[in-house]
Amino acid sequence: MAQAMRPKMSPKQLTVVGNELITPNMIRLTLGGEGSQHFSQESAGQYVKFLFTADGSTDISTLPEGQKPMMRTFTVSGYQPDASTITIDVAKHELAELDGVITPDIGGYASRWAVKAQVGDVISLVGPRPIQAMPVDAEHFLLVADMTAQTALQGKLALLPDNAKGHVVLDVPTKADLQPLALSESVELVVNISSESSLSNCVKALELNTENLAVWCACEFSEMRTIRSYITSDKAVDRKMCYFSSYWKHGVTEDGHKVLKREDSMALEEQVAKAK
């Protein structure tokens, strides 16, 4: 049967109008210009893909015929209607300040560009596109994120009912990397410092009420898998009430991570089918 085709996403060009370090490890890029007319308030929390050539240039017009750009995924953290700009918060990881030649094997396209981006620089991107929704008619909630998903987490928190009960677990390199979160009174924030313990161990240490529990988790690949297995197997939470997504993987660029994600999702589907 013919599959419904996704509409092709055409690149938009945005111009850097601001670049500031908002916490020790988070860069906030403000982007405006012609391409920003495709964004609105609804874009906050949606994702875009920055485009680069294989040698790290943002001038994708130099791409050889038929060669696809390198893509890096980020969440829109805000939209400023008066200025018609968007903001994107980029976690500064260990490759960010690496000098020298950039190659598809080493990667670091987005973080290395973000560290150096200056007002007037132009970036091409595709999107915005929405991320999957989480069930909000649950009684209890568990939301888990690391630095890369802090923006997405803020978007999900805004959708929770006022009387939401549960936990938010956020992994950050330092306490100073924590951004303000809108939490209702009965939601407890647990901060995990990356160098002190793993995010999954932090989740396992929680006293979870699994009755009518909805789970949203976005973080590093291996951590996500450990948390997914703990929640759906050990804690037997209904998979339909859960959303798990890996945003990056240790030692692997986004291109390699994409392949592993696909394999993981196929293996999971098989596992679920066998269990039926």
Ligand X SMILES: Cc1cc2nc3c(=O)[nH]c(=O)nc-3n(C[C@H](O)[C@H](O)[C@H](O)COP(=O)(O)OP(=O)(O)OC[C@H]3O[C@@H](n4cnc5c(N)ncnc54)[C@H](O)[C@@H]3O)c2cc1C
Binding site for ligand X (CB under 6 A): 47, 72-75, 89-91, 93-95, 107-111, 131, 148, 151, 247-254
At 23, list the tokens: 């916490």
DSSP string spanning 90-136?
Answer: EE--TTTT--S---TTT--HHHHHHHH--TT-EEEEEEEEPPPP---
Q: Smallest Cα–Cα separation from 180: which of 211, 158, 164?
A: 158
**Closest approach of Cβ 236 to ligand X, in Å?**
27
Residue nearest to ligand X (CB): 107
List the end-to-end C-alpha distance of the chain, in Å, as a whole number: 25
**Closest approach of Cβ 162 to ligand X, in Å?**
26
Cβ nearer to ligand X, comparing 28 with 140: 28
> In 248-270, which positions are buried (b, 16+ CB within 10 angstroms) versus exposed (e)?
bbeeebbeebeeebeebeeeeee
**Closest approach of Cβ 211 to ligand X, in Å?**
30
Q: Which residue has the tokens 């945003």?
A: 247
CA distance 233 to 230: 6
Cβ nearer to ligand X, comparing 39 with 247: 247
Cβ nearer to ligand X, comparing 126 with 213: 126
**Closest approach of Cβ 170 to ligand X, in Å?**
14
**Closest approach of Cβ 209 to ligand X, in Å?**
28
**Closest approach of Cβ 29 to ligand X, in Å?**
10
Cβ nearer to ligand X, comparing 35 with 140: 35
**Closest approach of Cβ 26 to ligand X, in Å?**
8
Query: Which is it for strands 26-32 and 85-91: parallel, antiparallel or unpaired?
Result: antiparallel
Q: Which residue has the tokens 């209702």?
A: 184
Query: Which is it for strands 242-248 and 213-220: parallel, antiparallel or unpaired?
Result: parallel
Cβ nearer to ligand X, comparing 26 with 231: 26
Cβ nearer to ligand X, comparing 71 with 122: 71
For helices 221-229 and 254-275, give the axis angle rounded to 10 degrees.
20
> In 128-137, which positions are buried (b, 16+ CB within 10 angstroms) versus exposed (e)?
beebeebbee
Cβ nearer to ligand X, comparing 131 with 160: 131
Query: Which is it for strands 140-145 and 26-32: parallel, antiparallel or unpaired?
Result: unpaired
